[in-house]
Structure 1
Amino acid sequence: MILHASTQDLPCLREVGINPSKLFDTELGGRIAGLPRVGLGPLLESLMGVSLAKEHSAVDWSTRPLPHEWLNYAALDVELLIPLRNKMYELLSEAKKWKWAEQEFASILLAPPAPPRIDPWRRTSGMHKIKKRDQLAVIKNLWIARNEIAQTHDVSSGKLLNDAGIIELAIHKPTTKKDIEKTLRPIGMRARWSENMSTWISAIESAVNAPEDQWPPMKSGADTLPPIKLWRERFPEKYAPLTHARFAIETLSHDLSIPAENLISPEVIRRICWAPPAASTAALDVAAVAEAMAGLGARSWQIEIVAAPVASALLEREPREVPAPEEPESEPSVD
């Protein structure tokens, strides 16, 4: 099967019983080939000299039924995938990257379904503004209520109430229609947000009136690492190897003309530096690092390229300094 940005489409295809045994992802292929722009339109323009019509790209695709002209537009988006695949294969073969791409495509098909997220409401955009647990309780209630309405009516949740609105309601905790409108007006109150006003009020009141022991903790129980900005001060022994590993990956990325995140997942590098294999911080141990990378899901071609430089980075004790941005030259003063 030929898809563009397959990780977006495969879950939907599997829901209707379509489970491809082979895959060619033209978007991922473009990344591995080192092309600067890998959207479907730019790829068709640069590789085949074809421009896609985009008159329906910004329409509301949750509309049902979809108008006939929209269906035609969607069909034209995949009409040229076969010749694009052939051109991409040529590029990857010439660059001696086809084996890399094969492993990446296979890994997408073999990847297990993502486990349900722990506390998915914590991914609400703007959470950095939240400092109190009662505010988290409001966010949780509003997010769950919004999600239930969205699923029931098959509509994008952001159209019912966007994340910025949820954050503002959590900070101010209004419990009347008038106060909610006053809170949301500065960020651009939408008429549709009022359609479920009673639900929003109920969600906020329930959170406000809940006993403190029912408020969510500030940190979730998910297996997440601390933010990188905390590593330098609190975990310098982990931060130093990370800076050197990142530099090595960026250098390889430039030399091989492949984005760093496709050369190796940044999460793999973070986890290796956070919990390095036993003894790998005392002596160079490429085999242990390679084994750890494989356990975290890295492919063999990735391990072959990056295991050795990452193993070397684990021996570093001082962080690699990030160069400060150059100051613009000031013009000479005129006396």
Structure 2
Amino acid sequence: MNDKLDEAKRMIPKAPQRVVTIEDDAALAAFVAGLADRDWIAVDTEFLRERTYYPKLCLVQIADTDHIGLIDVLALSDLTPLAGLLTDARVRKVFHSAEQDLEVLYQSFGTMPAPIFDTQVAAPLLGFDDQMGYARLVEALLDKKLPKGHTRTDWSHRPLPDGALDYAADDVRYLAVAYPMLRETLAAADRLDWLAGDFERMVEPDRFDVDTRAAWRRIKAWNRLAPVAQQVLAELADWREREAMAADRPRRWILADAPLIAIAESQPTRDIDLADTPDLPVRTLERHGDALLNCVARGLTRPAEVLDPNAGPPDEATRRRIKTGMRALARAAEAADIPPAAVASRADVAAIVAGRRDGRLLRGWRAEVAGRAVVEAVESARTDAARGC
């Protein structure tokens, strides 16, 4: 594997240098038209979400092998050509760590960019670390050290600070070089097709459709509550999520976690009791007091059950089987020269121990590399335990 990668490094193509900033609709249409015959483009986004529920798209960077376009979304009135390019099935969109980019593009255009390639997902199949950052990958592949800075830039501000556009351009400049290297090396190792299923699942729209009924999962301390309080919390979290979405404001601006948990615990039924909630802002009480009391009332009518019975710590026997499965995963991943974390997580192994056979570890290349070995190890441990070995 390393030999194939070293060979690819000896033929590193030149990075695109020509950069154009696109600030009017005609320029966008012309830029997109020039990419119509490309097989792939490198894509990155800059956005802001500190003051909103939904991420606010500010800049889209696109590169091919020759040039880079910095698309100032905030300056444009017609983004139809951009949306068309990103959803064109003939053009593969290359990202690094695509999750947040896909979310902001889906929320902005109502449709998912596809097909895609994610260099962060692909790199571990060539022996790189799992979840490797863009700068580290560029340095490892291209021996190019990217300057740090602008990670806290307010991309909605105009004009942008000095150096910000150069920083944004670099995010696709070297991605356009790294992608062909990774693709060709994976193809030579017969691993390129392994990624198809992963990339298809990454662009399933329901991954980014919010289920407000499951909003309680975002609250870290939910499982410390009594079952009745958990049910009240689920109603409160559902309400808060819907309010945040409707107002397009961060959920913490609607109501922070601490008072949400306090209400779930105290379960007030009157305004005067609700007013005693620690850290509950007076303005929130005035605006949403009735809604909060209604959430409590609905929660108290629900069955007093734990929200997720499987969320607690496993018993000793289960922990031993998970440990056995993790050892099998590590051995199989090492044999394939892939970081174990890129193959599966502890939660994936725990699902197999629990008897589930529908997880990602038993699909596609993961099943071939490690999934079957993990199942065999877990079942063997279960049999040995039953025999008293």
Instruction: Provide the TM-score with structure 1 as the length reference.
Output: 0.66
Is structure 2 residue 225 aligned with structure 1 residue 130? yes
> What is the alpha-carbon distance in structure 2 between the residues aligned to residue 269 and residue 239 of structure 1?
11
Instruction: Give the counterpart of 2:353 among 266, 273, 282.
Output: 273
Larger strand fraction of residues: 2
2:313 corresponds in structure 1 to: 229
Is structure 2 residue 112 aligned with structure 1 residue 32? no
Cα pair distance change 1:135/1:21, threshold 3 Å:
closer
Instruction: Provide the TM-score with structure 2 as the length reference.
Output: 0.58
Spell out structure 1 runs of 4+ moving beyond 6 A.
none
Instruction: Give the counterpart of 1:202 among 284, 287, 290.
Output: 290
1:4 corresponds in structure 2 to: 96
2:149 corresponds in structure 1 to: 54
* 2:228–2:300 Cα contact (<8 Å) kept: no
> What is the alpha-carbon distance in structure 2 between the residues aligned to residue 74 and residue 159 of structure 1?
30
1:312 corresponds in structure 2 to: 376
Is structure 2 residue 160 aligned with structure 1 residue 69? yes
Name the count of aligned residue pairs. 280
2:367 corresponds in structure 1 to: 303
2:82 corresponds in structure 1 to: none
Per-residue CA distance 1:104-153 (angstroms, 9 max, x = gap): 334434x562476483132122113212514641x234323422332223
Shift of 1:25: 0.1
1:310 aligned counterpart, secondary structure: helix
2:105 aligned counterpart, secondary structure: helix
Amino acid of the structure 1 residue aligned with 2:160: E
Instruction: List gaps (5 residues or longer) in structure 1.
Output: 277-291, 320-335
Cα pair distance change 1:312/1:144, threshold 3 Å:
closer
Shift of 1:200: 4.8
Cα pair distance change 1:147/1:18, threshold 3 Å:
closer
1:54 aligned counterpart, secondary structure: coil
> What is the alpha-carbon distance in structure 2 between the residues aligned to residue 173 and residue 228 of structure 1?
24
2:276 aligned counterpart, secondary structure: helix
Shift of 1:2: 0.5
Cα pair distance change 1:116/1:93, threshold 3 Å:
same
1:171 corresponds in structure 2 to: 265
* CA-based RMSD: 3.8
2:149 aligned counterpart, secondary structure: coil
Cα pair distance change 1:99/1:299, threshold 3 Å:
same
Instruction: List gaps (5 residues or longer) in structure 2.
Output: 1-92
Amino acid of the structure 2 residue aligned with 1:130: L
Is structure 2 residue 206 aligned with structure 1 residue 113? yes
Cα pair distance change 1:296/1:103, threshold 3 Å:
closer
Percent of residue pairs bearing the same amino acid type: 21
Residues 5-24 of structure 1 mapped to structure 2, 5 A cutoff: 5-15=97-107, 16=109, 18-24=111-117
Is structure 2 residue 327 aligned with structure 1 residue 247? yes
> What is the alpha-carbon distance in structure 2 between the residues aligned to residue 226 and residue 126 of structure 1?
15
Amino acid of the structure 1 residue aligned with 2:240: R
